[in-house]
Structure 1
Amino acid sequence: MRPEVEQELAHTLLVELLAYQFASPVRWIETQDVILAEKRTERIVEIGPADTLGGMAKRTLASKYEAYDAATSVQRQILCYNKDAKEIYYDVDPIEDEPETPEPSADSGSAAPTAAAAPTAAPVASAPSAGPAAMVEDAPVSATDIVRTLVAQKLKKGLTDIPVNKAIKDLVGGESIGNISH
């Protein structure tokens, strides 16, 4: 094959591949829905030069899945290997133990060590514990409590500020309730 024909074919192939790439829909939203909702993935690690897809996933979590995760007690991590290597490999910093202060030794023949020991802080006696905590009986959570909790979270109010007898429209005080539906 002649070099001119090879170059023309390579050019045509490149143009066709780029046209296909640009014409094909990006299905990132559906991919995130499968990963986050159907599979309930709790830990996503992006391997790449930048935290591009991880940033998009974080925004999607904040806008679409925050209430869902709170209601189902799902705690997610979106990590990038460039920034979060310690969390990815579970590499924790060792906790340094506090150096123990040596207790003053008492010399029976001299009164001077007791005078010198006075400026040092004596160990503080901790308050005696009140005993084991009382057992709390498990009780089912009502649907009303769940809805009130989700509404309180979305409105950034306390649970006591969400009365059962008020409509959401009344609780938001005329503001848009579009964000609460997500």
Structure 2
Amino acid sequence: MEQARQLVGEMLVCCFVVVLLTGGFLAFFYTPGNQMVFYDGAYEPLRTMPMSAAYNSILEISFEVRGGLLMRQLHQSSTYLLVFGTVVWALLGRFRYALAMLCLGVLGGLSGYGAADDLLSGTALGRLPTPWWYGLHLLVAVAVGAVLVISSQREAARQPRTFRLVALSLGLTVLAIFWL
């Protein structure tokens, strides 16, 4: 049970690294903003449609940036895996860290959708400016990283990592991300 918990914890760290790297890539092309623009990108059915600058930049990432759609999908699937892995981690006995991670995961997902000006547009939460959602998303990422680093260090102090454990966690993480 101890090794399974440590394996899941290492997988969470790997997932977080993927979320961080893909999020960094996406941040280079993302434009947070609520100002209305007319879409003039590659996706023909949406041409001349009014939309927010944030949503316009997401469409540009998806259709015009090389590898942009793949990065968005990797970011989303590894985020789902991070939240699901946290639930498994909690069931294996890491309640203190898992509760913080679950709360941060829900907040991170909500702020991600808010930054995309996607599902929250017509709700009361959609009235917040998109840059606030983007800033909240970045703040949550830092908090998740801090929780993972602290718990990983404490776990490694009790039971040192082995090469086999690290290789297995990397392999299972890659498999799980591409399976979702």
TM over 0.5: no
For the aligned pair, the TM-score class normalised by the smaller chain equals under 0.3
More helix by share: 2
TM-score calculated relative to the size of structure 1: 0.22
- Higher Rg: 1
Which structure has more relative contact order (CA 8 Å, sep 6+)? It is 2
